[in-house]
């Protein structure tokens, strides 16, 4: 059944499923399905700690209370009326505040109980024609489109280069690694936030590691993320159980249906994006329809001043189309729009002993993963040929004579 959400321009269809599995004694995952707030979330309590089920439930309760507050409502309403970059960043701050409040609540609960607690946390708010995603831990958010299924989030795991999958083998590591960030954990709290442009036919999938982990390849996850939301949730949970059900498995799938609110005005930042992208070496001379088709493989990200621009993110090699801001290369060169950072990543090439670019000022760009770029090009061979031709030309220009 389709639903109308407050402040969101599209009708949506929703499917959700959560199972304990065959090994765990209790389900330590929790789901948040609050269409009255256009808010959805998945939390996975730490099985190795005390009361993981309490931790996941409390975290989502705090998130819900924060988003339901009058201050949050004012921020979201302001974005609906004036979706500028400045207001959008206040929505980012709201998501971070919700996570920080959940973290503080779990720390307080641990002090009361005298035992450690922690949880992963992924939630999203649907506003206007965008989905705002917040992510902590190793749950995942996927965006399934007709051309590609994109992994939006990066697992917050303790880094171990010997365990990272090679970007061209389609496999993911099976060996568990400790979390580098989690709500309630005594480690630095890292909160990733993303604005995701959506259109009719897109499906957002939030999944705990017990749901996505049993899939062997990205292609298998892509196949599972097709179809009606209820079928997606049921299939991912069924697959987890079929593979042994060693962990709790939880999924929320949200399909974007028909648009029922038509807006004559365009978001102020969209014009800037179109102007920058039209001049990118990857899109030079292409019609805007082709540019938009290629961008089906991209997720918008922001990188704070001084931070490195990761060449490996969301489980794969990445390139970046710079929309605004400046990036400083290792040789001291400074690049702004319409620069393409790490273009070799789009063909799956990782430079040995790579030195990373840094954001000289707040950098906003479109992150394109190698696997997603390849999937879009395979879906539309004509577009793929045009993109690879421009990419080859650009790489040749960068090669010293």
Question: pLDDT tens digits, residue range 109-120?
Answer: 999 988 889 999
- pLDDT, the chain, mean: 90
pLDDT of 43: 97
Banded pLDDT at 146 (limits 50, 70, 90): confident
What pLDDT does 342 receive?
96
End-of-domain residue from the set 231, 258, 285: 258
Whether the per-residue pLDDT at 166 is higher than 90: the answer is no
**Which tens digits make up the pLDDT trace of 216-225?**
888 999 999 9
The packing angle between helices 85-113 and 268-278, to 10°, is 110
- pLDDT for 131 beyond 60: yes
Q: How many CB atoms lie within 10 A of CB 70?
A: 7
Question: Is-contact 31 16, C-beta < 8 A?
Answer: yes
Q: Which among 234, 258, 282 is the end of a domain? A: 258
Q: Could you tell me the pLDDT band of residue 269, with boundaries at 50, 70 and 90?
A: low
- In a domain? residue 150: yes
- One domain for residues 286 and 357: yes
> In terms of domains, do 248 and 391 share one?
no
**Long-range CB contact pairs, 225-229, < 8 A, 24+:** 225/142, 225/144, 225/149, 225/253, 226/144, 228/13, 228/15, 228/255, 229/13, 229/14, 229/15, 229/203, 229/253, 229/254, 229/255
Instruction: Determine the Cα–Cα distance for residues 372 and 319; give it in Å rounded to an integer.
Output: 11
Q: What percent of the chain has pLDDT over 90?
A: 72
pLDDT digits (tens, 9 = 90+) for 290-311: 888 888 889 999 999 999 999 9
Mean pLDDT confidence for 63-79: 98
| Residue 1, pLDDT score | 67
Considering the domain architecture, whether residues 250 and 288 belong to the same structural domain is answered as no
Query: Residue 118: what pLDDT?
Result: 94
Q: How many domains does the chain have?
A: 2
| Structural domain containing residue 179 | 2-258
Count how many residues are written for the chain: 401
pTM for this model (two decimals): 0.90
pLDDT for residue 192 is more than 90 = yes
pLDDT at 171 over 80: no
Rounded Cα distance between 369 and 383, Å, is 17
Closest CA to 375 of 208, 194, 226, 196: 226
Same domain, 311 and 342: yes
> Within this chain, do residues 53 and 32 fall inside the same structural domain, yes or no?
yes
Kindly state whether residues 237 and 337 are assigned to the same domain: no
CB 105 within 8 A of CB 63: no
Q: Which residues pair with 193 in a beta bridge?
A: 134
Question: CA-to-CA distance for 219 and 202, rounded, in angstroms?
Answer: 17
- Residues 40 and 187 occupy one common structural domain: yes
């Amino acid at each position: 059944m389709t639903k109308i959400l407050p402040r969101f321009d599209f009708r949506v269809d929703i499917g959700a499923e959560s199972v304990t599995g065959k090994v765990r004694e209790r389900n330590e995952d929790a789901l948040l399905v609050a269409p009255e707030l256009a808010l959805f979330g998945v939390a996975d309590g730490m099985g190795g700690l005390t009361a993981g089920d309490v931790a996941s439930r409390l975290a989502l309760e705090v998130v819900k209370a924060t988003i339901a507050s009058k201050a949050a409502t004012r921020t979201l309403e302001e974005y609906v009326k004036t979706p500028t970059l400045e207001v959008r960043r206040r929505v980012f701050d709201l998501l971070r505040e919700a996570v920080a409040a959940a973290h503080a609540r779990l720390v307080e609960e641990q002090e009361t109980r005298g035992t450690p607690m922690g949880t992963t946390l992924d939630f999203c708010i649907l506003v206007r024609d965008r989905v705002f995603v917040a992510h902590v831990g190793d749950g995942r958010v996927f965006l399934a489109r007709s051309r590609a299924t994109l992994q939006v989030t990066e697992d917050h795991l303790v880094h171990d280069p010997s365990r990272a999958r090679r970007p061209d083998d389609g496999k993911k590591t099976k060996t568990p690694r400790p979390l580098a960030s989690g709500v309630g954990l005594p480690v630095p709290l890292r909160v990733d936030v993303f604005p995701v442009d959506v259109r009719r036919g897109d499906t957002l999938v939030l999944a705990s590691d017990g749901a996505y982990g049993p899939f062997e390849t990205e292609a298998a996850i892509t196949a599972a993320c097709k179809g009606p939301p209820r079928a997606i949730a049921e299939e991912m949970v069924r697959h987890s159980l079929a593979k042994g059900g060693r962990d709790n498995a939880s999924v929320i799938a949200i399909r974007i249906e028909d648009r029922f609110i038509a807006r004559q005005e365009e978001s102020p930042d969209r014009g800037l994006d179109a102007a920058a992208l039209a001049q990118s070496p990857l899109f030079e001379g292409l019609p805007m329809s082709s540019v938009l088709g290629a961008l089906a493989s991209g997720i918008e990200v922001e990188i704070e001043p001084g931070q490195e621009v990761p060449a490996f993110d969301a489980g794969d090699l990445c390139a970046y189309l710079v929309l605004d801001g400046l990036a400083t290369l290792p040789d001291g060169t400074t690049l702004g729009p319409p620069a393409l950072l790490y273009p070799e990543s789009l063909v799956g090439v990782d430079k040995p002993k790579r030195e990373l670019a840094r954001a000289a000022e707040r950098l906003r760009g479109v992150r394109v993963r190698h696997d997603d770029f390849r999937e879009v090009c395979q879906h539309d061979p004509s577009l793929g040929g045009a993109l690879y031709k421009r990419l080859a030309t650009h790489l040749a220009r960068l090669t010293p004579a």
